Amino acid sequence: MDRMLVVIFDNESKAYEGKKALLQLDGEGSISVYGYAVVAKNSDGTVNVKQGDDYGPLGTLTGTAVGSLVGVLGGPVGVAIGAAVGLTAGAAADVNEAGIGEDFIDDVTKVLLPNRVAVIAEIEEDWTTPVDNRMGAIGGIVFRRALSDVKQTIHDEHIAAMKADIAQMKAEHAQAGADRKAKLHEKINQLDSKLQAQLQKAKEQRQAAERQAQAKVDILKAKAKAAAAKAGA
**DSSP code of residue 90:** G
Q: Among 33-47, 81-95, 96-110, where is mean pLDDT lowest?
A: 81-95
Q: What is the pLDDT at residue 53?
A: 58
Indicate whether 11 pLDDT > 90.
yes
Amino acid at 13: S
More confident call, 160 vs 119: 119
Helix then strand count (H, E) for the chain reads: 7, 6
Q: What is the pLDDT averaged over residues 183-188?
A: 89
Q: Among 59-73, 89-103, 187-201, where is mean pLDDT lowest?
A: 89-103
Nearest to 94 by CA among 84, 105, 110, 83: 105
- Name the H helices within 92-177: 94-98, 102-111, 129-138, 150-175
Summarize pLDDT for 138-152 with one digit per residue, the tens.
999 999 888 765 556
Task: State the Cα–Cα distance between residues 233 and 231, nearest whole angstrom.
Answer: 6
Summarize pLDDT for 44-89 with one digit per residue, the tens.
777 777 766 544 333 455 456 777 777 777 644 433 334 444 433 3
Q: Among 56-65, 96-105, 166-175, where is mean pLDDT lowest?
A: 56-65
Task: State the Cα–Cα distance between residues 95 and 147, nearest whole angstrom.
Answer: 11
pTM value is 0.64
Q: What is the pLDDT at residue 61?
A: 52
pLDDT band at 94 (very low <50, low <70, confident <90, very high): very low
Q: What is the pLDDT averaged over residues 189-199?
A: 88
The chain-wide mean pLDDT, for the chain, equals 77
**DSSP code of residue 126:** S
Task: State the Cα–Cα distance between residues 42 and 74, nearest whole angstrom.
Answer: 10
**DSSP code of residue 196:** H
How far lies 49's CA from each of 36, 77, 118, in Å?
A: 11, 9, 10
Q: What is the pLDDT at residue 87?
A: 38
Q: What is the pLDDT at residue 64?
A: 64
Task: State the Cα–Cα distance between residues 121 and 34, nearest whole angstrom.
Answer: 7
Task: State the Cα–Cα distance between residues 136 and 204, nearest whole angstrom.
Answer: 39
Q: Above pLDDT 70, what percent of the chain?
A: 76
Q: What is the pLDDT at residue 134?
A: 95
pLDDT band at 231 (very low <50, low <70, confident <90, very high): confident
Contact between 1 and 124 (Cβ < 8 Å):
yes
Q: What is the pLDDT at residue 89?
A: 36
Q: What is the pLDDT at residue 155?
A: 66
Neighbours of 227 (CB within 10 A): 12
Contact between 24 and 212 (Cβ < 8 Å):
no
